[in-house]
């Protein structure tokens, strides 16, 4: 029990730090001193910096699954679920405020031009996320909610706006950034919406 609790505290702290500063700047030493633990104690749970980085990624994935993906999955398939996902993520960016950082935005940008196992793991998870967006777009077209469009192009645009709703808000200390992202995605989906499709409530 004690061991599980300590490991969880380390992962919570690592997740919080990496959301702002990335996974490269995580060090076992600074985590230990932040948590009032010994370096050997933190090291014992993970064994290496890379193992700590990969464990932090798994932790972040379970947080996103619980807080963003699972709630949106309760919305009907296709357009309502796609829109619920966009609302959930932009609302999350509003909640964390201007100094928080979003683990996936920060870490995806950190590793986009790197190589190695951590980058490969981040890329695989982000690719799965992009496939989720594309599948919801395809479902929306199949269900007659959206007029035919290129799912990869639309997913690219939605993801660009979601990322910017975080990033531009933090960089310029602009609390309106998530709402700008939501408004732009709303406008784009509304253009493609068929007359019979369910409304997108903002």
Binding site for a second copy (CB under 8 A): 19-22, 24-25, 99-101, 105-106, 108-114, 122-123, 126-127, 130, 152-153, 156-157, 159-161, 163-164, 167-168, 170-172, 177, 180-181, 183-184
Indicate the residue among 54 and 183 with the shorter CB distance to a second copy.
Answer: 183
State in angstroms the smallest separation of the CB of 23 from a second copy. 12
Query: If DSSP codes are grouped into helix, strand and coil, which group holds residue 186?
Result: helix
For 17-39, letters b (16+ CB in 10 Å) and e give: bbbeebbeebebeebbeebebee
State in angstroms the smallest separation of the CB of 161 from a second copy. 5
CA 144 to centroid of chain Cα atoms: 28
* Spatial distance between the Cα atoms of 98 and 177, rounded to a whole number of angstroms: 10
State in angstroms the smallest separation of the CB of 40 from a second copy. 26
* Spatial distance between the Cα atoms of 103 and 26, rounded to a whole number of angstroms: 13
Indicate the residue among 96 and 143 with the shorter CB distance to a second copy.
Answer: 96
State in angstroms the smallest separation of the CB of 1 from a second copy. 34
Nearest alpha-carbon partner for 155 in 125, 175, 135, 180: 135
Indicate the residue among 76 and 175 with the shorter CB distance to a second copy.
Answer: 175
Are the CB atoms for 50 and 57 separated by under 8 Å? Answer: no
Indicate the residue among 100 and 198 with the shorter CB distance to a second copy.
Answer: 100
């Amino acid at each position: 029990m004690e061991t599980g609790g300590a490991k969880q505290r380390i992962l919570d702290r690592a997740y919080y730090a990496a959301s702002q500063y990335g996974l490269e700047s995580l060090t076992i030493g600074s985590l230990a001193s932040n948590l009032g633990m010994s370096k050997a104690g933190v090291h014992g749970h993970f064994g290496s910096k890379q193992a700590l980085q990969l464990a932090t990624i798994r932790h972040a994935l379970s947080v996103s699954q619980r807080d963003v993906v699972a709630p949106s999955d309760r919305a009907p398939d296709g357009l309502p679920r796609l829109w619920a996902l966009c609302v959930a993520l932009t609302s999350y960016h509003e909640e964390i405020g201007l100094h928080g950082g979003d683990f996936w935005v920060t870490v995806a940008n950190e590793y986009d031009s790197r190589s190695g196992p951590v980058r490969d793991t981040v890329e695989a998870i982000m690719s799965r996320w992009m496939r989720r967006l594309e599948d919801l777009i395809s479902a929306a077209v199949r269900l007659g909610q959206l007029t035919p469009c290129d799912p990869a192009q639309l997913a690219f645009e939605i993801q660009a706006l979601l990322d910017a709703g975080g990033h531009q808000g933090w960089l310029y200390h602009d609390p309106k950034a998530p709402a700008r992202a939501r408004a732009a995605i709303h406008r784009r989906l509304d253009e493609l919406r068929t007359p019979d499709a369910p409304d997108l409530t903002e």
